[in-house]
């Protein structure tokens, strides 16, 4: 069992989920409420990782983070180290790749909140932000939590993007699934078995939690 990879995967998945909550909730709220003509294009971009092979996304991200790209150069200028093959680069890729798994359930949950409640809140003097925090978000909470849980589980097991962007540096970018791949390559089936078991159990628990949340009072 590769404990370092286990720790790294959990840290990566947790941070990915937190970033997705911060970035994904406003984006989902906008998607749920906006009547902008080109909204479908934004929705398509957010959903691309669902259909795109992870290696394709990983390759693009690798190029985008490389030392010759504006993003890569800016990162080196500010932090003094390259973005590609670093934990930060991996987090960035993981967030992008996890976007649809969080934003789609967020959008569905936020969009299901009765518009009349939002209007009632406005008429009672509450700002859009206060309305979101006191009315929309509490009512959408089961959906938001299940989106976050799915995104977490997904980030925990991600392989293709990680391999392309992060490589295989122990303690930096070597996640559980990369470690699993390694173990199989080295015919270390005992390690592969224990790693797989961890990923399987986490996924199973996540699905149970998600389905319980959907039945929770207040969930709809």
Partner 1 sequence: MSTLSFELERRFPSGATVRAGLTHRWADGGVVVLFGPSGSGKTTVLRCLAGLERPDAGRIALGDDVWSDGARFVPPQGRRVGFLAQDYALFPHLTVAANLEYGLASLPAPARARRALEVARLVRVEGLLGRRPAQLSGGEQQRVALARALAPRPRLLLLDEPLSALDAPTRDALRAELRSSLVSAGVPAIVVTHDRVEAMVLGDTLAVLAEGRIRQVGKVSEVFSAPADAVVAHVVGTENVAPARLVGHDGELAVVEVGSARLVTVDPGHLEGEAWLCIRAEEVLLERAADADLSARNQLAGTIVSLAPEGPLVRVVLDCGFRLVALVTKQSAGRLSLAPGGKVVAVVKAPAARLVPRVAVATAR
Give the binding site for partner 1 (CB under 8 A). Answer: 114, 116-117, 119-127, 130, 134-135, 138-139, 218
Q: Which is nearer to partner 1, 137 or 199 (CB)?
A: 137
Residue 65 is encoded by which pair of tokens?
A: 């983070």
Scanning the chain, the segments in alpha helix (DSSP H) are: 3-33, 39-51, 54-65, 70-79, 87-111, 115-123, 128-131, 137-157, 160-166, 176-185, 189-215
Tell me the closest approach of the beta carbon of residue 29 to partner 1, in angstroms: 17
Min dist CB 32 to partner 1, Å, is: 18
Give φ, ψ of 217 to 5 degrees. -60, 140
Q: Which is nearer to partner 1, 170 or 218 (CB)?
A: 218
Which residue in the block uniquely carries the two structure tokens 């009512």? 139
Q: Please check whether residue 2 is in contact with residue 191, taking contact to mean a CB–CB distance below 8 angstroms.
A: yes
CB of 220 to partner 1, least distance (A): 10
**Closer by beta carbon to partner 1, 77 or else 129:** 129
Residue whose C-alpha is closest to residue 3's, from 186, 205, 198, 200: 198
Between CA 119 and CA 35 the distance in angstroms is 17
To the nearest whole angstrom, how small is the minimum distance from the Cβ of residue 24 to partner 1? 22
Q: Whose Cβ is closer to partner 1: residue 50's or residue 117's?
A: 117
Q: Provide the Cα torsion 77, 81, 84, 90; round to 10°.
A: -110
Q: Is the dihedral of CA 183, 200, 52, 14 positive or negative?
A: negative
Q: How far is the CB of 122 from partner 1 (least distance, A)?
A: 4
CB-nearer residue toward partner 1: 80 or 125: 125
């Amino acid at each position: 069992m590769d404990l370092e990879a286990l720790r790294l995967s959990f840290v990566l998945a947790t941070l990915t989920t937190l970033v997705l909550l911060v970035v994904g909730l406003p984006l989902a709220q906008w998607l749920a409420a906006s009547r902008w003509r080109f909204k479908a294009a934004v929705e398509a971009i957010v959903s691309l990782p669902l259909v795109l092979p992870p290696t394709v996304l990983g390759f693009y991200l690798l190029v985008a983070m490389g030392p010759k790209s504006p993003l890569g150069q800016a990162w080196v200028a500010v932090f003094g180290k390259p973005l590609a093959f670093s934990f930060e680069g991996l987090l960035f890729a993981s967030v992008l790749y996890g976007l649809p798994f969080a934003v789609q359930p967020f959008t569905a949950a936020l969009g299901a909140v009765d518009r009349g409640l939002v209007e009632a809140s406005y008429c009672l003097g509450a700002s859009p932000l206060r309305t979101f925090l006191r009315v929309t978000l509490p009512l959408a909470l089961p959906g938001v939590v299940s989106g976050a849980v799915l995104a977490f589980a997904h980030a925990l097991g991600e392989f293709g993007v990680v391999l392309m962007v992060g490589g295989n540096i122990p303690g930096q970018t070597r996640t559980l699934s990369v470690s699993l791949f390694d173990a199989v390559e080295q015919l270390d089936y005992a390690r592969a078995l224990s790693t797989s078991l961890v990923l399987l159990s986490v996924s199973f628990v996540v699905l149970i939690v998600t389905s319980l949340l959907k039945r929770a009072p207040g969930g709809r």
